[in-house]
């Protein structure tokens, strides 16, 4: 996939190894944005883990890492999709494999939002998913992230379930208290 220049001064291209440290920074910003936590540095162990994870995706034919690059500012965004294969769990007359394109992470720097970068990244992610015969796209965003909800809803995504999370210690305590 060759980089595509747009009228707005950015290029969408496949990520390369040199992009990975900055992409880790984007992932950290995304996590802080979702959690609402104040800016802080990643622990070195987490930074290395994210670098390894992104690096392993570079040569995987079922994963695509993209970056958005501005000619004056450098990298200003990223997008990541992978193909997820599953078998139907309900009774079927024949075995069938289902493929989904999972949009794992997508980020555009705040000062570059509203310039078409999200849509440009998404176009290439969707093309990749279609080329891999994925029939649907799946993504997650925090229920508290109103900006993400508005953007994804506008692009045709609809909630299909609820994902709940809890700390293990909280569940353990609730189980202990309910044994009474």
Q: What is the mean pLDDT of each run of 10 residues along the chain (180 residues)?
A: 62 97 93 79 91 94 97 95 77 71 93 93 96 93 84 90 86 86
If DSSP codes are grouped into helix, strand and coil, which group holds residue 2?
coil
State residue 87's pLDDT score.
Answer: 62
State residue 180's pLDDT score.
Answer: 58
State residue 2's pLDDT score.
Answer: 47
State residue 13's pLDDT score.
Answer: 97
Cα distances (angstroms) measured from residue 67 to each of 15, 34, 54, 78, 88: 6, 20, 12, 4, 33
The interaxial angle of helices 20-35 and 44-58, nearest 10 deg, is 120
Long-range contacts of 30-37 (CB under 8 A, 24+ apart): 30/105, 30/107, 33/145, 34/141, 34/142, 34/144, 34/145, 36/144
Task: Judge contact between 93 and 42, C-beta under 8 A.
Answer: no
The model's pTM: 0.82
Residues 6+ apart with CB under 8 A from 104: 80, 81, 82, 139
């Amino acid at each position: 996939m060759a980089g595509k220049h747009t009228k707005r001064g950015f290029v969408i291209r496949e990520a390369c190894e040199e992009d990975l440290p900055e992409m880790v920074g984007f992932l950290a910003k995304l996590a802080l944005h979702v959690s609402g936590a104040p800016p802080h540095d990643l622990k070195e162990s987490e930074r290395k883990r994210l670098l390894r994870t992104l690096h392993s995706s570079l040569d995987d034919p079922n994963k695509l890492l993209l970056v958005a690059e501005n000619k004056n500012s450098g990298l200003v965004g990223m997008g990541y999709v992978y193909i997820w294969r599953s078998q139907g769990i309900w009774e079927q007359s024949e075995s069938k494999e289902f493929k989904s394109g999972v949009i794992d992470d997508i980020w555009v720097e705040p000062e570059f939002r509203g310039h078409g970068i999200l849509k440009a990244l998404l176009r290439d992610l969707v093309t990749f998913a279609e080329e891999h015969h994925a029939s649907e796209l799946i993504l997650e965003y925090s229920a508290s992230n109103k900006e993400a909800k508005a953007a994804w809803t506008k692009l045709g995504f609809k909630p299909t379930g609820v994902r709940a999370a809890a700390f293990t210690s909280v569940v353990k305590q609730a189980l202990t208290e309910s044994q009474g």
